[in-house]
């Protein structure tokens, strides 16, 4: 029996199937006796989705670079966030694509061995389709982040050194698998190996595949300036909005979005990544960004300190410019923005009783110039040591990859860029959900519909890890205007040479001379 493994020194270390599936040579355990049950298929699927989770959570350069903030606190200029915004990444940001390829390898193993699964062909096919979806998703994310990356042939490739493929080829690969994934059932019809309905949105579905294709085609359209790709993206957005690929609907209002949609499992959500926290330091992207903001978290049920050494600052004036006074997102996304006082309940350790006790502190909000975010509502803590130290673990929230509001605003962008009618229709619907009138807000932007849509995405999807890629998709003008000053100084040649992509991590090149650093980063990454 041939031992199955993949040797791809492309940022991965040399990897094999034995690294994921505990598959050993023939004299021990082989695939012949591994895939004996539906539970084995489910274990492989969970390995695949866990690698997607870890991959998506491991690199935050795009988040840091795209954040709309007023200030990165000067005392913390050595932080990864500051350095990322200055295009000066430290080793922390030598983003590792290992887990993306681990997920792709799991998917290939699934496809190569699905015939072994002792399940009905209907159920086996769902597992195949999940693998198609993951391959499409990972190649799309790889193309956005690194541009040129290797394309892995299959799970049986042995000791093959792979060179990078062009970004066009990688996006073609992503499109190919995403199109295959469109045969997935709707979310409400998804089943596990035992035929039981799945109850979370962390798996591929017909709606998730449509959202993936909408994003792939929109990205390709922005990259290649091709009208037909905008039209394709619009088509898949419309499928989702018109409930042709699943039952989706908007949450009631911004407060509902914060309290219920971000919690996970709502009708607005299309694809989610579930987070669990078992150890200190296992942060989500949301949590990591959130905790870096000044005074976060300012909530009545949490500890609060206005002297917390935060890195990121929002000024109230910025928020006042971004959101009008009657925009419901203003109140839901930010804490006490318009109140004159903060009445904050904090837990203080009483050394006499050795208990944490509630104490009300009052702060004069008229003298506070900063705005405090309130999007994140569900932190998880642990208490350690005799002094009952409160340790933040992360957010008990799903990472929402795509939700209906995002897709509606993407459709607006697609219609605008393709010259299709009704470009503002979806923007108006989202604004009405936020308590605003349906007036044509393009008047605020000199009739620039594209900019009006960008600003609405900026408002609605604040902190949802979309802004950096929105900027890139909208073109060089947006890069130089909307990102930090460092990005504004990039030349056309810099951008052509890969400045907007991650540098390739050194581990990707150590044992593979076919993998070359992006030209822009050649002299900048040590």
pLDDT tens digits for range 121-173: 999 999 999 999 999 999 999 999 999 999 998 766 545 789 999 999 999 99
- CB neighbours of 210 closer than 8 A, spacing ≥ 6? 182, 236, 237, 239, 240, 245
Burial 335-356 (b: 16+ CB within 10 A, else e): bbbeeeebebebbeeeeeeeee
pLDDT value at residue 496: 95
Whole-angstrom Cα distance, residue 82 to residue 78?
7
Instruction: Let me know if 42 is exposed, middle or buried by CB neighbors in 10 A (0-12, 13-18, 19+).
Output: middle
Q: How confident is the model at residue 239 (pLDDT cuts 50, 70, 90)?
A: very high
Quote the pLDDT of residue 15: 38
Which pairs with CB-CB distance under 8 Å and at least 24 residues apart come from 228-237?
230/414, 230/417, 230/418, 231/414, 231/418, 231/420, 233/410, 233/411, 233/414, 234/411, 234/414, 234/415, 234/418, 234/420, 236/210, 236/211, 237/210, 237/407, 237/408, 237/410, 237/411, 237/414
With contact defined as beta carbons under 8 Å apart, do 228 and 417 qualify? Answer: no
Phi, psi of 201 (to 5 degrees): -105, 30
Amino acid 285: pLDDT: 58
Structure tokens at 182: 């469109």
Q: What DSSP assignment string belongs to 206-265?
A: HHHHHHHHHHHHHHHHHHHT-HHHHHHHHHHHHHHHTTSSS-----SSHHHIIIIITTS-
Q: What's residue 14's pLDDT?
A: 31
**3-state DSSP assignment of residue 32:** helix
Q: Where is 58: in which H helix or E strand?
A: helix 38-58
Q: Name the residue with tokens 């042995």.
A: 158
SS3 call for 191? strand
> What is d(CA 481, CA 490) in angstroms, rounded to the nearest whole number?
11
In the prediction, which pLDDT does 161 show?
A: 85
List the structure tokens of 123: 């159920």
pLDDT of residue 175: 98
Averaged pLDDT score across all residues of the chain: 83
Which residue, chain included where needed, has tokens 């591929």? 204
Mean pLDDT of 211-239: 97
Is-contact 313 294, C-beta < 8 A?
yes
- Long-range CB pairs of 349-358 (<8 Å, 24+ gap) are 349/387, 349/388, 354/388, 356/388, 356/390
- The pTM for the full model equals 0.89
Q: pLDDT-based confidence at 16, cuts 50/70/90?
A: very low
pLDDT reading at 23 higher than 60: no
Q: Tell me if 130 sits within 8 A of 116, measured CB to CB.
A: no
Pinpoint the alpha helices (H) of 448-484.
449-460, 467-474, 476-482
pLDDT digits (tens, 9 = 90+) for 73-125: 655 555 677 778 888 765 545 467 888 999 999 999 999 999 999 999 999 99
Domain spans, the chain: 1-59+95-166, 296-397
**What mean pLDDT comes out for the span 252-262?**
96
Q: Which of 394, 407, 418, 417 is nearest to 461 (CA)?
A: 407
Q: What would the two tokens of residue 450 be?
A: 């594209």
Percent of the chain with pLDDT over 70: 78
Give the span between the Cα atoms of 40 and 46, in whole angstroms. Answer: 10
Q: Which two tokens stand for residue 1?
A: 């029996």
Q: Is 372 helix (H, G, I), strand (E, B) or coil?
A: strand
- Cα 515 to Cα 246: distance, rounded to the nearest angstrom: 41
* Residue 318 scores a pLDDT above 50: yes
What is residue 165's three-state secondary structure?
strand
Which residues, 6+ apart, have CB-to-CB distance to 282 below 8 Å?
393, 394
Q: Could you tell me which residues are beta bridge partners of residue 289?
A: none
Give the C-alpha separation, 451 to 139, whole Å.
29
Residue-wise pLDDT tens digits, 399-424: 899 999 999 999 999 999 999 999 99
State in Å, rounded, how far the first CA of the chain is from the last one.
Answer: 43
Q: Are 148 and 167 in contact (CB under 8 A)?
A: yes
């Amino acid at each position: 029996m041939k031992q199955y493994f993949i040797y791809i020194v492309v940022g991965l270390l040399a990897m094999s199937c034995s690294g994921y599936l505990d598959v050993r040579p023939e004299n021990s355990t082989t695939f012949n006796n591994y895939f004996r049950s539906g539970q084995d298929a489910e274990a492989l699927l969970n390995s695949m989705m866990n690698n997607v989770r870890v991959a998506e959570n491991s690199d935050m350069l795009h988040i840091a670079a795209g954040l709309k903030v007023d200030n990165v606190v000067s005392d913390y200029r050595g932080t990864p966030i500051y350095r990322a915004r200055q295009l000066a990444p430290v080793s922390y940001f030598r983003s590792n694509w290992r887990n993306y390829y681990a997920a792709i390898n799991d998917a290939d193993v699934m496809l190569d061995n699905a015939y072994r699964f002792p399940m009905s062909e209907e159920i086996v096919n769902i597992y195949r389709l999940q693998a198609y979806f993951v391959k499409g998703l990972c190649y799309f994310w790889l193309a956005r982040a690194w541009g040129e990356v290797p394309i892995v042939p299959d799970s049986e490739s042995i000791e093959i050194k792979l060179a990078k493929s062009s970004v066009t080829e990688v996006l073609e690969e992503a499109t190919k698998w995403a199109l295959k994934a469109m045969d997935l059932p709707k979310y409400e019809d998804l089943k596990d190996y035992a035929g039981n309905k799945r109850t979370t949105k962390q798996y591929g579905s017909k709606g998730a595949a449509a959202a993936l294709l909408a994003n792939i085609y929109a990205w390709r359209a922005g990259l290649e300036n091709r009208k037909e790709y905008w039209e394709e993206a619009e088509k898949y957005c419309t499928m989702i909005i018109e409930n042709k690929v699943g039952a989706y609907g908007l949450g009631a209002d911004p407060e509902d979005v914060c309290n219920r949609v971000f919690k996970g499992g709502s009708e607005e959500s299309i694809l989610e990544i579930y987070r669990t926290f078992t150890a200190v330091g296992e942060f989500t992207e949301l949590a990591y960004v959130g905790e870096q903001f000044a005074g976060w978290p300012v909530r009545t049920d949490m500890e609060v300190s206005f002297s917390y050494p935060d890195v990121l600052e929002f000024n109230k004036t910025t928020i006042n410019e971004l959101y009008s006074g009657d925009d419901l997102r203003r109140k839901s996304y930010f804490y006490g923005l318009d109140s004159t006082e903060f009445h904050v309940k904090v837990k203080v350790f009483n050394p006499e009783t050795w208990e944490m006790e509630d104490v009300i502190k009052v702060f004069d909000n008229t003298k506070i110039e900063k705005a405090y975010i309130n999007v994140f509502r569900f932190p998880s803590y642990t208490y350690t040591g005799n002094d009952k130290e409160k340790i933040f673990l992360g957010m008990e929230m799903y990472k929402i990859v795509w939700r209906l509001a995002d897709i509606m605003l993407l459709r607006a962008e697609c219609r605008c860029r393709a010259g299709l009618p009704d470009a503002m229709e979806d923007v108006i619907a989202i604004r009405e959900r936020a308590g605003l009138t349906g007036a044509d807000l393009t008047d605020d932007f000199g009739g620039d519909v594209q900019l009006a849509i960008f600003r609405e995405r900026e408002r609605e999807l604040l902190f949802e890890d979309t802004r950096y890629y929105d900027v890139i998709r909208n073109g060089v003008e947006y890069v130089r205007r909307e990102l930090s000053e460092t990005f504004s100084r990039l030349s056309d040649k810099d951008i052509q040479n890969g400045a907007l992509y991650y540098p390739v991590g050194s581990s990707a090149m150590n044992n593979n001379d076919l993998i070359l650093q992006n030209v822009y980063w050649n002299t900048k990454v040590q």
